[in-house]
Copies of this chain bind each other. A is one copy, B any other.
Amino acid sequence: MARKSATGRIGIADVALKAGVSHATVSRVMNGNFTVDPDIAARVRAAAVELKYQPNPVGRSLALGKTDTIGIVVPDLANPTFQAILRGLSRAAAQDGYRVLIADSFEVSSEEAILAGEARRRCDGLVLCAPRMGDAELAEIAPSLHPLVLINRTTAAPGVPSLVVDYGLGVQALAEHLVELGHTRLAFLAGPAGSASNGLRLEGLAVFKASHAHVDVTMLDGGSDFDTGHEAVDAVLASGATGILAFNDLVAMGLMSGLHERGVNVPADISVTGFDDIPFARYTTPTLTTAAVPIAELGAQAWHQLRALIRQEGTETPGVRYQPRLEIRSSSGSAPVSPAP
């Protein structure tokens, strides 16, 4: 048989032997180098087909110094937001012939730096998605990770484009919307303490409060998943608020489910808003008012920025800032005449 190499797979040498040419010529043919005699090229191609030869990407990567692979580090693969980003990234990168290596840090921020470094070494570039590590650490490792693109996080380190969603603006729009509906007592169901996007929401709320002295905004501890919302029902009811700004759509859905169980009517008794506009938001009962984030586009954009960096296109790309779009559906309505039960 034609299996010569140590790995047992068919290598360039086998094809060269079969076609009666040198490795170099085979390599040239495989890479579409036209300085090869058509007859010989045909012979090589025939041999390659017959042997079912497929170039070994590892050897190729070592020789070329590139892997045609990019890495992405996410805090939690279970989070729909990160899933959507991954999808957008994967799709866009695939269009340019790049593959995606994933690294899930499982919210263990101390692992992120190591994970990122390891991923980066196997890839041509890296996307760091909402990293939980501290600013100092991020700035310190950023240079060693170049080409690097940040999502929902910025850094002082130079040459690192950031794609950030303006959660502050989004939460302001939602609060504004509730106020226009007559609500004067709001509550914010916060997200994970370490999350930068939660910080942005808090900043947005501070701005909102400064210009709406007559509106009462209660702060409630929370998280980022269904259960958070579901478990927050008591706290929400105790707050006396009639307009609830949930950290995200998942929390909002959990909350609505809990309120439903208590017989509280949404939006007649209490209005609930989410954030992100995940696909499910259109199909909840009632449908969810939320702030839409062009999340899949974020993934695609991350690839485009990374690609520019990899190709060393000197176009200074400071990143992109995305503004959420208010998506009014049925979970928000006029404030009840009497306070909520």
Contacts and interface: CB of A to CB of B under 8 A. Distances in A.
A230 B279 CA distance: 13
Interface stretch (A83-91, A177-185, A317-325): A83-91
Contacts of A117: 54
A61 interface: yes
A57 interface: yes
Interface residues of A, number: 48
Interface string A53-77: 0101111011001010100000001
A101 interface: yes
B285 A285 contact: yes
B91 A83 contact: no
A28 interface: no
A69 B118 CA distance: 12
Contacts of A253: 280, 283
Interface stretch (A36-44, A198-206, A213-221, A254-262): A254-262
Contact of A83 (B6, B83, B256): B83
A81 to B, nearest CB: 12
Interface in A121-159: 121-122, 144
Contacts of A94: 103-104
A175 interface: no
A61 B122 CA distance: 10
B144 A279 contact: no
A119 B99 contact: yes
A282 interface: yes
A104 B87 contact: yes
A117 to B, nearest CB: 7
Given A54-B121, A59-B62, A77-B86, A284 B282 contact: no
A27 interface: no
Contacts of A86: 77, 102
B69 A58 contact: no
A65 B5 CA distance: 11
A101 B123 CA distance: 11
A109 interface: no
A38 to B, nearest CB: 26
Interface of A: 6-7, 52, 54, 56-59, 61-62, 65, 67, 69, 77-78, 83, 86-87, 90-91, 94, 99-104, 106, 117-119, 121-122, 144, 226, 230, 253-254, 256-257, 260, 279-280, 282-285, 287
14 contacts: A6-B65, A56-B121, A58-B58, A58-B122, A59-B62, A62-B62, A83-B83, A86-B102, A87-B104, A99-B103, A100-B101, A226-B280, A256-B283, A257-B287
